[in-house]
Amino acid sequence: MSTVANGVISRRRFLTGLAAAGLAAAAGVGWFARRPQPPGLPKPAAIAADVRAEFGRAWQAYKRLAWGHDELKPVSGGYQEFFAANHPVGLTIVESLDTLYVMELDSELESSVRWIETSLNLDIDAPFQVFETIIRMLGGLLAGHLATRNATLLARARDLADRLLPAFTKSPTGMPYRYVNLHSGAVSVPVNYVAEVGTNLAELGTLSRLTGDDRYLRAAKRAAQALYERRSALDLLGTTIDIETGGWLNSVSVGPQPPVDSYYEYLLDGYRLFGDPDLQLWFQTLTAALQKRQWDAAGGHAWYAQVQFRSGTLVNNHESELAAFWAGSLAEAGMHDEAAQVLASFQLVLDRFGLFPEEWDYTDLSILEPSYQLRPEFADSCLALFISSGGSEIYRRPAFQLYQAMKAHCRVANGYTIVTDVTTRPMTRGDLTPAYWFSENMKYFYLLFADSSRFDYRDNYLSTEGKVLIGLRPATR
């Protein structure tokens, strides 16, 4: 077993490498700063206190109505399991460990860790989706261990990863099967999406770093490399691939949108976390192609057109709310002006509809899917730009706007729920609090306003699922 290097590479070295590829722009707040700004915010500490109180109110509802189950249904007062029917894994609990830590909700954190120690059973005879299990369950256990230094959480993380590894090791290409049975190791569904194939580096690499066992990072890198080697002559990727044959099943490059999005993010993150020059090169190459072939900055706003990945011909101008994360990745790559322009484009949608619809056509902002799934990506980017800009106030403002809109349209007696149609007034509500609302949305809002003593704003890393894998500071009592 070899030991993986610890820590994030220096930001100077990181940005120097990107600048050499012509990707990093000069630092600055760019286009977004020229937008008219809303009136002054309440004091940041007051907003942070409100976020913490709202989280606590919803958390108590989860404890009362759904404890140990995966996700709360706050309108009906029920619950649902995320991965497999009749097999709860406490997804909301596992995902929320580091949120509880940074919010200093220590008694809730202690009871959550106790539940994992006594009640979490991973020997489940059912297929689990590999991608979601890695970014949510494995990432949650790792972040919880880093917050508490509890050895059981790391042991559970390793046990889970060992149950997931057959999805990689049984594949002839190294790209993982979409599902694996946690009890038997049986794999299934060889048709997989780019994001699901290539979003493993941060969690598996962190596990390698913590255990000294490089099998996990090697499996993740092999999968990422297999995708990169199958790029087109234009350095673009399709969306769907047969992991057994390596053949593409869909030829549209959607850019930093699902179901490809977080693959680009994790090439960047893998380089940031582990200093691997291969990951740096792959990110540079693919991002340069996106900027050349798909960047559409017409009309003062910036989006990514969807094109044929071999020819570059236009397919459509559809945009997903989930792509709002990309502004943060661009900022972390040193492309500050482009990042601010992308964030401002999503701000336009928030201004228009009050909350984000799931999908729209960016040429005229006509809605293609009207639901708001309590997605965290816009707040994620606000936090990333806030940090990368050294704490510029302008990135708190759009996050606060979203927070207020969420309170206005999603708040119910038992917490917060999704919206099924943002065009109705009042907005039509659904009945679900996704586990990621506890672990991502509220963490991002809190860190933006709290000046948390348990989070290092200068040296940190949050995964695609918002797990703090670098930057948790020891609690002081």
Distances from the Cα of 92 to the Cα of 63, 89, 141, 282, angstroms: 10, 9, 12, 34
Distance, CA of 20 to CA of 16 (rounded, Å)? 6
Distance, CA of 75 to CA of 415 (rounded, Å)? 9
* Structural tokens at position 290: 């996106």
* Structural tokens at position 334: 């040193």
Q: Give the three-state DSSP class for 412.
A: strand
Distance, CA of 158 to CA of 204 (rounded, Å)? 9
Q: Is residue 422 within 8 Å of 354, Cβ to Cβ?
A: yes
Give the orientation angle of helix 44-66 with respect to helix 442-450, to 10 degrees.
150
List of residues 6+ apart from 242 with CB closer than 8 A: 190, 191, 248, 249
Distance, CA of 413 to CA of 28 (rounded, Å)? 42
Catalytic residue among 337, 338, 377, 380: 377
Q: Clarify whether 421 is annotated catalytic.
A: no
Distance, CA of 252 to CA of 468 (rounded, Å)? 33
Catalytic residue among 358, 361, 431, 456: 358
Distance, CA of 78 to CA of 364 (rounded, Å)? 39
DSSP 79-123: EE-SSSTT----HHHHHTHHHHHHTT-HHHHHHHHHHHHHH----
Q: DSSP assignment, residue 458? A: S
Q: Clarify whether 132 is annotated catalytic.
A: yes
Q: Clarify whether 369 is annotated catalytic.
A: no
Catalytic residue among 132, 159, 244, 431: 132
Q: Is residue 381 within 8 Å of 398, Cβ to Cβ?
A: no
DSSP 1-13: --PPPPSPPPHHH
**Residue 18 pairs with which residues in a beta bridge?**
none
Centre a 10 Å sphere on the Cβ of residue 409 and count the other Cβ atoms it contains. Answer: 19
**Torsion angle defined by CA atoms of residues 400, 402, 408 and 414, in that order, rounded to the nearest 10 degrees:** -100
Q: Clarify whether 108 is annotated catalytic.
A: no
Catalytic residue among 54, 261, 321, 380: 261
The catalytic residue positions are 132, 261, 358, 377
